[in-house]
Each structure stands twice: as structure tokens, then as C-alpha cells.
Amino acid sequence: MAGSLDGRVVLVVQRSWLIANNLARALEANGAKVLLATNSSSALRLVDHPLLSAAVLNSDSRELCRLLEARGISFLFYTGRAQIIDEFNTAPVIRKPARPAEVVDGVGRLLTQT
């Protein structure tokens, strides 16, 4: 893996609970603590976590992306959508379907860049 996730807090926002749970298990197996949200509204309540290190989003919430960016929190998109919000098109994108290990590696790369 690109970087250690030990003790890192990662926000996972996925509409599908099955996908969210699979990602959470993979991240936790690599040492991360995971905050789960199934939509941007619930994610907005978690974005202020003081130890938040990174986020995995499928949300197109500009507000959520802006809040993460303002806090200096790196994020990537794990999505099946063809289009990403133009304002955030420099964020890494992992296209669905991908193995959870690919997302874990992506988060590791985010954390080594910060």
C-alpha cells in the first residue's frame, strides 16, 4: 500500500450501504478508523471530526467538497458517474466497480501527498 492508514480517520460517503460497508472493512483492515455516511447531508455532520484525515466520496455535494478542501482534507471520488464536479476535477477518481483494495491504495496515496 502507498501509505499507512494506522490511526487515520477516513470519511466514506457512499449511497449503497453494501459498498460503504465493504470499503469500511477494507480500510479498517489497514488500520483506519472509518466514519460512514450514505448521503452528503449525513456526511456534513461528520466533516468536522477533529482527526479526519481523508475522504472517499461518491457524492456530488459541492458544499461537502468545499468544506473538506477548506480544512485541507484530501479526498477522492469512488463513483460510477462519467462526470465529476468541474470545480473538483483534479481530485483522484476511482471508477466503480473497483476492488476495495484499489480504494485503500488511493487513500494511502492521498495521505502520502499531504
What digits encode the pLDDT tens for the residues 43-96?
Answer: 999 999 999 999 999 866 788 999 999 999 999 999 877 666 666 777 888 888
Neighbours of 66 (CB within 10 A): 12
Name the pTM for this structure.
0.90
CATH superfamily label, 9-113: Response regulator (3.40.50.2300)
Note whether 69 and 63 are within 8 A (CB).
no
Neighbours of 37 (CB within 10 A): 22
What are the phi and psi torsion angles at 54 (to 5°)? -160, 165
- Helix/strand/coil for 18: helix
pLDDT higher at 89 or 41: 41
For residue 100, what pLDDT band results from cuts at 50, 70 and 90? very high
For residue 40, what pLDDT band results from cuts at 50, 70 and 90? confident
Q: What's the pLDDT score for residue 2?
A: 41
Instruction: Determine the average pLDDT of the residues in 85-108.
Output: 86
Dist. CA 58–CA 28, nearest whole Å: 19
